[in-house]
Structure 1
Amino acid sequence: MSRWQDLTGGTSGAEYASRFEALARGGKDVHGEAAFCAALVPAGARVLDAGCGTGRVMIRLAELGYDCVGVDLDASMLDVARERAPRLPWFRTDLAAFDPAELGVAADFDLVVAAGNVLPLVTPGTEATVLQRLTAALRSGGLLVAGFGLDTAHLPVPPALTLAQYDAHCAAAGLTPVARFATWDAAPYEDGGYAVSVHRRDG
């Protein structure tokens, strides 16, 4: 069981979506991740939203003209995503077993994005496998972007994945570091409790 399932019990979709709806009503920009991704690849690029949740990031990217696919393990989150954007491709799968071919999807994404603490919340011990699966879905030169918390102030569970471990898993999967930021607004990273990392598949 993933740490996310253990945390939520698989009934988190509507509640999760309502939190961001409240933020948006309060005037907060809830599209920072999508804007960050749009600065990396041009409109029309193929984007995989890994751990897409209720679809907030992917729906915005689709509105901006990106060719998107969303995958998530939580059925309740996907129910919300499908209700909000029924014409977009949403798939339920464990990222540790993600195989685009099994879903009828081409494995030539220009960008894979894992926002919202996806990596720290996968099944413990599968982080390296998840990164291998996501890397395999990228075209040569494609980018992997992941943002996640590193301390208790930025995570709903005790920290279990350090940046050193993450970078090591990325290197083993065939990814090269490109840049690291402290926020989705591209603020410089200075050893804080949250990091947004960009890696490239060179092979």
Structure 2
Amino acid sequence: MSEVPPTRWALAGSESHGYGPRFADLVARGEDVDGEARLADALVPRGARILDAGAGMGRVTDALRARGHDVTGIEPDAALVEQAERTYPGIGLLPLDILETTPDVLRAHGRPTAYELVVAVGNVFILLAEGTERRALSALRDLLAPGGRMLIGFHLTAGPAGSRAYAPGEFRDDVEACGLRVDLLAGSYELHPANAEYAVWLLSVAGSPHDVDFEGGA
């Protein structure tokens, strides 16, 4: 397996330490933290297999399980894995980086090896290790079931500490280079129009049997 370099999140050090406690406090106060999960839930049938990649402190994993899905959460930050267990006892996030998550690794953990939906929200892609964006996209693509899709979201401006700027055009180029296509670009998880602040992407494998030529028919 190729080396897994430290992510931008890990390199940010103490600047990133407030994330887990902050969201745990929001959960404890009953605040709404399910925006991403509501959209993800609408994209799949009940009981779908979903991979929550970069699960953080587990809020999306928990929300999707509560909606009846078979969710596998992966998170490489040990502190966030521990925070997830305190906030959602028994959630069982796997301590894995996207780059080391393969069908064989998931099988060894007793988890599904293919998913109807892969979710990587909460700025995961602007906090990856430098230069690994295409590796991450390819790794997640290889975990999609036939007809499966990816839901990815990140800030275009004012991202968290240590994050990169990832222009929509550059992200689209990386997506297409990895054999994927953009099915939707929106500006929020409530599907507001695309804007300059936040990007929500729905991706699928290019050349799938569901492709339609809207000018010439199917």
TM over 0.5: yes
Helix, strand or coil at the partner of 1:123: coil
Residue aligning to 2:66: 63
Unaligned runs of 5+ in 1: none
Instruction: Give me the CA root mean square deviation.
Output: 2.1
Residue aligning to 1:31: 34
Opposite residue 205 of structure 2, the aligned amino acid is: R
Contact 1:70/1:90 (8 A) holds in 2: yes
2:157 corresponds to 1:138:
no
Select 1:200's aligned residue among 200, 204, 211: 204
Residue aligning to 2:101: 98
Residue aligning to 1:113: 119
> 1:142-187 CA distances to partner (integer Å, 9 max, x unpaired)?
1101100122x23333533222221122112221211111111211
Residue aligning to 1:47: 50
Contact 1:10/1:75 (8 A) holds in 2: no
* Partners of 2:167 and 2:16 in 1: CA distance: 28
Sequence identity (%): 33
Max radius of gyration: which structure?
A: 2
- CA gap of 1:154–1:82, structure 2 versus 1, over 3 A, is same
Note the 1:139-158 alignment, pairs <5 A: 139-151=145-157, 153-157=158-162
* Partners of 2:104 and 2:92 in 1: CA distance: 14
Residue aligning to 1:186: 191
Opposite residue 114 of structure 1, the aligned amino acid is: A
Deviates more, 1:16-25 or 1:127-136: 16-25
The offset of 1:48, in angstroms, is 0.3
- CA gap of 1:42–1:8, structure 2 versus 1, over 3 A, is farther
Contact 1:154/1:194 (8 A) holds in 2: no
* Partners of 2:78 and 2:44 in 1: CA distance: 29
* Partners of 2:86 and 2:37 in 1: CA distance: 20
Residue aligning to 1:170: 175
Helix, strand or coil at the partner of 1:92: coil
- CA gap of 1:83–1:118, structure 2 versus 1, over 3 A, is same
> 1:57-98 CA distances to partner (integer Å, 9 max, x unpaired)?
110100110100011110110112233444444211221222
* Partners of 2:143 and 2:96 in 1: CA distance: 14
* Partners of 1:76 and 1:10 in 2: CA distance: 14
Opposite residue 97 of structure 2, the aligned amino acid is: D
* Residues matched between the structures, number: 199
* Partners of 2:67 and 2:25 in 1: CA distance: 23
Contact 1:49/1:112 (8 A) holds in 2: yes
* Partners of 1:11 and 1:28 in 2: CA distance: 21
TM-score after normalising by structure 1: 0.88
